[in-house]
């Protein structure tokens, strides 16, 4: 019997190893605006990310919604790192098939980097080897508008027996440019001086939306004090509870400068002076503290997220990789998808920050659907573990991020050249909270750099937003923008906040900056405060926010009903009563939300 079983095992192993004919795995049309240039050098290195199937992801998703649904008995009972990994681990057959395929190219365990759940395998190989493995040819592609360059192919193939064991391989067909969402930075001469006394002066203007009074200076310069006044958080004192935490992601060689942070604290949050944040580098991420190298994006995110949430423990992640890639004699590695590296690292942390804000993204159509789904699934893993993920919704209204919103063409990349609104990713992922932008007091949807919003073409509308979005669509005049958006898609943003004229310190001087890259970290700061309130009430962290926000959380938002998000040569969608694809559910009213999340759930 043992001999028989041994022969069966050997035969099975041999069957897996038998080469099979190549079959196309993915093929796309050359994206609009990209031109094929030269062939890369054969020894140019590519870090291939190989995604193996997650056969039990549907069970993970089910448990994510159970622990995030305030009506479910499991609400707040978040999963452990190990429990999540068990749910997304690939079948042993897939691991074996991929390992044997890689071994055929001389790649062994020492050459592989695996994600915590082993559902991703990362290998770094010369482009010549990648071409043999994928039966393809890479080229250097140039973006005609910006001059950015990428090493990419428009199709790749795999042995047919591997198709059931590999979901996606990148970088292959991904032409995303991974942008930070920020708008104009004003000159220092244009900024009125703000002192601590002025910033905390007694408010003098009533805001009917939130029912609170706000200093009139907040219409021209946004400070921490303005946000706390406007969003009804004045007087709330957080604690440095080690169970709580907040994190900011940094990319594109964006450095959060500590000297600038101290100047910001001295001006706007003097009780935070001499406090700082934990710095975590990922894949060689740097921490350049040269004042002139301070990053506007990083400084904005850190100063307001940590300023609003002080003294909650804070972390800044610096992930290496500066997309898009420019091939030259110095840079020999193609490292243009750093958020994959970031999410792998954070999933490997035993205790990741409980609230994390990211102010970067791509046009959804530039991220191949299979890859977008896998990245989105990684966010679901973090949500199941009790992490609240917030992403900026983008700054180009319903249009793409490649041109002036007033002149956008908004053409699809599917070869049909169809005119269509262009959603943003990762904001379109249903497992994250997308944050749009407002301006002025009383608040309206921003009209100068357009709050990103719309409907995903990849992800269907999740159940948690069915009622709110269906109501919006029902009230939309019949035929409005027919064919320009997918009414059945995941709708975003979910919430919003002020996103214009934030006063930060940058390279030793104060400047004003705006964008949904301002509203996302600001909202993250308030979410961290809500977690503080829940811990004080002996409750768990909020985790994935959206199922709560669209139900019991509704009374905790100021409904924004004016403004629109122009783009693609249109005025875009309008802000209106209830949820809308410009400002979502509205802007937060902290003390109302605090009452909701610390009491037995009831519709207030």
Q: Is 45 a known active-site residue?
A: no
Which residue among the candidates 318, 392, 451, 517 is catalytic per the annotation? 517
Q: What is the pLDDT of residues 82-134, one digit of tens each?
A: 999 999 999 999 999 999 999 999 999 999 999 999 999 999 999 999 999 99
Mapping DSSP to helix (H, G, I), strand (E, B) and coil, where does residue 219 land?
Answer: helix
* Binding-site annotation, residues for Ca(2+): 559-560, 578, 580
Q: Is 297 a known active-site residue?
A: yes
- pLDDT value of residue 552: 97
- pLDDT value of residue 205: 60
Q: Which residues of the chain register pLDDT less than 70? A: 1-19, 179-211, 321-337, 401-408, 447-449, 602-604
Contacts of 126 (CB under 8 A, 6+ apart): 42, 43, 44, 45, 46
Q: What is the pLDDT of residues 315-325, one digit of tens each?
A: 999 988 654 45
What does DSSP say about strands 278-282 and 314-319: parallel, antiparallel, or unpaired?
parallel
- pLDDT value of residue 6: 44
- pLDDT value of residue 3: 39
* Number of neighbouring beta carbons within 10 Å of residue 93: 12
- pLDDT value of residue 188: 45
Rounded CA gap, 464 and 228, in Å?
28
CB 385 within 8 A of CB 356: no
* Binding-site annotation, residues: 559-560, 578, 580
Which residue among the candidates 131, 215, 267, 301 is catalytic per the annotation? 301
- Name the nearest CA neighbour of 439 among 352, 499, 488, 513: 499
- Name the nearest CA neighbour of 464 among 289, 353, 567, 585: 585
What does DSSP say about strands 388-392 and 355-358: parallel, antiparallel, or unpaired?
parallel
CA count, 13 A, side-chain hemisphere, 207:
28
Question: At which residue do the structure tokens 């609240």 appear?
Answer: 388
Mapping DSSP to helix (H, G, I), strand (E, B) and coil, where does residue 218 land?
Answer: helix
Which residue among the candidates 297, 362, 494, 500 is catalytic per the annotation? 297
Q: Is 245 a known active-site residue?
A: no
């Amino acid at each position: 019997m043992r001999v028989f079983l041994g022969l069966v095992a050997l035969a099975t192993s041999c069957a897996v190893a038998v080469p099979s004919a190549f079959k196309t795995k993915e093929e796309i049309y050359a994206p609009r605006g990209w031109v094929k240039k030269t062939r890369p050098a054969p020894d140019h290195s590519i870090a291939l990310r190989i995604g193996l199937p997650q056969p039990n992801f549907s069970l993970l998703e089910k448990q994510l919604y159970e622990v995030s649904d305030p009506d479910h008995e499991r609400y707040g009972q978040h999963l452990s790192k190990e429990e999540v990994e068990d749910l997304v681990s690939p079948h042993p057959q897939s691991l074996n098939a991929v390992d044997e395929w890689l071994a055929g190219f001389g790649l062994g365990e020492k050459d592989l980097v695996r994600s915590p759940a082993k559902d991703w395998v990362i290998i770094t190989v010369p482009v010549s080897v990648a071409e043999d493995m994928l039966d393809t040819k890479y080229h250097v592609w140039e973006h005609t508008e910006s001059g950015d360059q990428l090493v990419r192919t428009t199709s790749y193939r795999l042995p047919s027996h591997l198709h059931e064991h590999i979901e996606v391989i990148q970088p292959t067909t991904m032409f995303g440019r991974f942008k930070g969402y920020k708008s104009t930075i004003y000159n220092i001469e244009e900024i009125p001086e703000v002192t601590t006394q002025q910033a905390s002066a007694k408010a003098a203007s009533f805001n009917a939306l939130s029912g609170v009074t706000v200093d009139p200076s907040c219409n021209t310069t946004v400070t921490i004090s303005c946000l706390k006044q406007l969003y009804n958080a004045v007087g709330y004192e957080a604690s440095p509870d080690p169970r709580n935490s907040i994190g900011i992601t940094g990319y594109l060689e964006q450095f959060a400068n500590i000297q600038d942070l101290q100047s910001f604290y001295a001006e706007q949050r003097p009780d935070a002076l001499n406090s700082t944040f934990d710095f975590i580098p990922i894949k060689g991420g740097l921490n350049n503290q040269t004042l002139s190298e301070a990053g506007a994006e990083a400084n904005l995110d850190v100063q307001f997220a940590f300023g609003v949430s002080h003294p909650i423990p804070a972390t800044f992640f610096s992930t290496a990789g500066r997309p898009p890639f420019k091939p030259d004699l110095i840079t020999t590695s193609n490292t243009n998808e750093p958020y994959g590296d970031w999410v792998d690292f954070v999933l490997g942390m035993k205790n990741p920050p409980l609230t994390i804000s990211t102010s970067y993204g791509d046009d959804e159509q530039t991220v191949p659907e299979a890859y977008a789904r896998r990245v989105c699934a990684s966010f679901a893993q973090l949500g199941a573990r009790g992490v609240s993920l917030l992403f900026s919704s983008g700054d180009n209204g319903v249009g793409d991020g490649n041109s002036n919103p007033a002149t956008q063409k908004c053409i699809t990349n599917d070869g049909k050249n169809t005119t269509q609104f262009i959603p943003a990713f990762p904001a379109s992922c249903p497992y994250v909270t997308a944050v749009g932008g407002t301006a002025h007091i009383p608040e309206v949807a921003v009209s100068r750099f357009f709050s990103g919003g719309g409907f995903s073409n990849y992800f269907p509308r999740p159940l948690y937003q069915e009622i709110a979005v269906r109501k919006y669509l029902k009230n939309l005049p019949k035929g409005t923008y027919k064919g320009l958006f997918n009414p059945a898609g995941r709708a975003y943003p979910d919430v919003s906040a002020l996103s214009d004229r934030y006063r930060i310190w940058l390279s030793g001087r104060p400047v004003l900056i705006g964008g949904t890259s301002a509203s996302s970290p600001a909202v993250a700061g308030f979410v961290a405060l809500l977690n503080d309130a829940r811990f004080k009430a002996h409750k768990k962290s909020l985790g994935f926010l959206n199922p709560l926000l669209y139900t019991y959380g509704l009374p905790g938002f100021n409904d924004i009903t004016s403004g629109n998000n122009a783009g693609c040569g249109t005025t875009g969608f309008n802000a209106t009563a209830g949820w809308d694809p410009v400002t979502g559910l509205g802007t937060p009213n902290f003390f109302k939300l605090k009452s909701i999340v610390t009491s037995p759930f009831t519709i207030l």
